[in-house]
Amino acid sequence: MRIKTKLTLGLGLLFALIVFLGGIAAVYIHFLKLDTRNILHDNYNSLLYAKSMLSALDQKGDSRLIHFEEQLRKQEGNATELGEKEMNKTLRNYFESYKNQGRQPEELMQIRVWLIEIMEINMQAIELKSELANKTAIQATIWIAIAGLACFAIALGLLMNLPSNIADPIQKLTQSIKQIASSNYKERVFLDKNNEFGELAQSFNTMAQKLEEYNSSHLAKLMRQKKRIEALINSMSDVVIGLDETMKVIFVNQEACKVLGLAEEEMVGKSSKDIAIYNDLMRMLVKEINVEVMEKEPLKIIHNDKENYFDKQFLHIELTPTGEEQKELVGYVMILKNITEFKELDTAKTRFIATVSHEFKTPIASMKMSLQLLKDERIGHLNEEQIILVDSIQDDAGRLLKITTELLNLTQIESGKIALHLKACALDQVVQDAVEANHIQAEQKNIQLKVDLPFALQPLQLDLEKTVWVLTNLIANAINYSHESSVVHIEVLQDDLATTIRIKDEGIGIPPEYVDRIFDRYFRVPSTHREGTGLGLAISKEIIEAQGGRISVNSEYGVGSTFVLVFKH
């Protein structure tokens, strides 16, 4: 039954019963009132009149007859019972004859008898009527009790059923809505189908079914996409490891399993820190993941019984959650790119350059010596053109020797064979040697080499030859990239903490966008027209850092550059 019908019926019936109860009560009260009024009016008055007449008979004098007459008239007007009228008439006859025929005691006697008769008939009537009233009262009580009981039963029925009838389905629906809210789309509600809650439950179930369908299609789509991404990552030849923000492994590809020597199940879902306890490679990766400046050196791993080199890349994945403005870290991706092939090629190239430059050095040196001899007057006289030719060959040979030396240095650095011969070096000696090596070039451009050296310089533990080479190279650059007739300032500063060497020029400077790349191998500022290999600064940096120092540059394009070497004590 519908809730509305149930409520209307229940409350309507209750209302009708209350009206019925009120009606019965009113009717019976009215009947009872009529009964008592009848007794009072019809019979009680007759008794009063009869009693008054009897007491009038007992009085003396003629006034009693007047009084009797008066009461008799009233009684004659109140003949309500069957036969009472005739009794009144007989009484009147006796009274008249008593009054007119000498007041005979027999008549008085008869009057008394009839008065008692009248009283009796009224007494009987009172008895009958009070019995009737009693019956009416009992009837009223029964009807009122029946109606009251019916009211009580219906009210009790409503009280027992209605609240649970309304509250139970609401509770069921609330619970189901909560289930849906927590993504349990399989939830359904089953309620009595014939009322409003049934309709509501049906609508709810339809909604849940649609959500379930949508969710499963969405899920299937997501699963397909996930599989595609997994296949993609798996097909990569690089090692890929995904971590969440708590460093728990979310995914690994097959290459990662191979290189780490662990099965996927041994990693996915586990904390990378736990894996790092028993896996050296994972330990190394976890250690580096939060290091700001990562080591650029490739990672060497023995894999498949041979040395493999991997380039490391750690990505910090950040997302902006919906409705928020600030990004938050959601995980990391570690990528190890297998560069073994390139490394092997590079090593082959380095070896080749090393061999070639080494093989070149001796013939070039002997060429230079031969040229020197050629210029010697004792061997023979050269004419002016020949001297110019020899000078030019000598220049070229010098340049070739410089390039060969740089390449040889580079191969030493690249193969990790940079051999340092550290000994206590007097810095003034280092600076003087480097200045000396450059003074001809400086003179040619009319550039003044200004040297500022403090008096008492503490010696430093350096490789003399290589440090002189670096300084020579920096001063040569300063001269090369300076305008004619300018000043190159070489300055050494020393305090308790560090020794600083500055080479400052007033030359062309370095465009700001290239300052960061100036120490890269083979890098040359694109607009540079001078000859060079782009190796000098790269080699200088390696040599200085190998000795524990730091090299940097401050440069203003068009104003000049200052190269700074710092050796901390």
Does residue 434 belong to the site contacting ligand ADP (CB under 6 A)?
no
CA dist 543 and 474 (Å) reads: 13
For residues 417 and 373, the answer to whether their CB atoms sit within 8 Å is: no
Give the tokens for residue 226.
């996930």
CA dist 328 and 321 (Å) reads: 8
Does residue 478 belong to the site contacting ligand ADP (CB under 6 A)?
yes
The pairing of beta strand 306-319 with beta strand 299-303: antiparallel
Q: Which of 331, 459, 534, 548 binds ligand ADP (CB under 6 A)?
A: 534
Q: Which is nearer to ligand ADP, 230 or 545 (CB)?
A: 545
Q: Which of 129, 303, 504, 524 binds ligand ADP (CB under 6 A)?
A: 524
Count of alpha carbons within 13 angstroms of residue 178, beta-carbon side: 6
Does residue 505 belong to the site contacting ligand ADP (CB under 6 A)?
yes
Q: Which of residues 286-315 bind ligand ADP (CB under 6 A)?
A: none
Does residue 148 belong to the site contacting ligand ADP (CB under 6 A)?
no
Count of alpha carbons within 13 angstroms of residue 483, beta-carbon side: 8
Q: Which is nearer to ligand ADP, 242 or 509 (CB)?
A: 509
- For residue 407, the minimal CB distance to ligand ADP (Å) is 12
Q: Which is nearer to ligand ADP, 331 or 532 (CB)?
A: 532
Q: Which of 260, 561, 565, 567 binds ligand ADP (CB under 6 A)?
A: 561
Phi, psi for residue 488 in degrees, rounded to 5: -110, 125
- For residue 530, the minimal CB distance to ligand ADP (Å) is 7
Using the contact rule CB under 6 A, the part of the chain among 39-47, 282-290, 419-427, 524-532 near ligand ADP is 524-532
CA dist 310 and 173 (Å) reads: 59
For residues 94 and 110, the answer to whether their CB atoms sit within 8 Å is: yes
For residues 481 and 511, the answer to whether their CB atoms sit within 8 Å is: no
- For residue 520, the minimal CB distance to ligand ADP (Å) is 9
Does residue 470 belong to the site contacting ligand ADP (CB under 6 A)?
no
Q: Which is nearer to ligand ADP, 198 or 532 (CB)?
A: 532
Phi, psi for residue 216 in degrees, rounded to 5: -70, -35
Q: Which of 525, 544, 551, 565 binds ligand ADP (CB under 6 A)?
A: 525
CA dist 310 and 148 (Å) reads: 95
Q: Which is nearer to ligand ADP, 256 or 470 (CB)?
A: 470
Does residue 508 belong to the site contacting ligand ADP (CB under 6 A)?
yes
Does residue 50 belong to the site contacting ligand ADP (CB under 6 A)?
no
Which residue carries 């996927």 as its tokens? 264
Query: How many other CB atoms are there within 10 angstroms of residue 542's CB atom?
Result: 21
CA dist 566 and 470 (Å) reads: 13
Using the contact rule CB under 6 A, the part of the chain among 226-234, 261-269, 494-502, 527-535 near ligand ADP is 527-535
Does residue 510 belong to the site contacting ligand ADP (CB under 6 A)?
yes
Does residue 536 belong to the site contacting ligand ADP (CB under 6 A)?
yes
Q: Which of 532, 548, 564, 566 binds ligand ADP (CB under 6 A)?
A: 532
Which of the 8 DSSP states describes residue 248?
B
Q: Which of 169, 242, 507, 549 binds ligand ADP (CB under 6 A)?
A: 507
Does residue 481 belong to the site contacting ligand ADP (CB under 6 A)?
yes
User: Residue 558: helix, strand or coil by DSSP?
Assistant: coil
Does residue 241 belong to the site contacting ligand ADP (CB under 6 A)?
no
Longest Cα pair distance anywhere in the chain, in angstroms? Answer: 218
Between the two ends of the chain, the Cα-to-Cα distance in Å is: 97
Interface with ligand ADP (CB under 6 A): 477-478, 481, 505, 507-510, 518, 524-525, 528, 532-538, 561
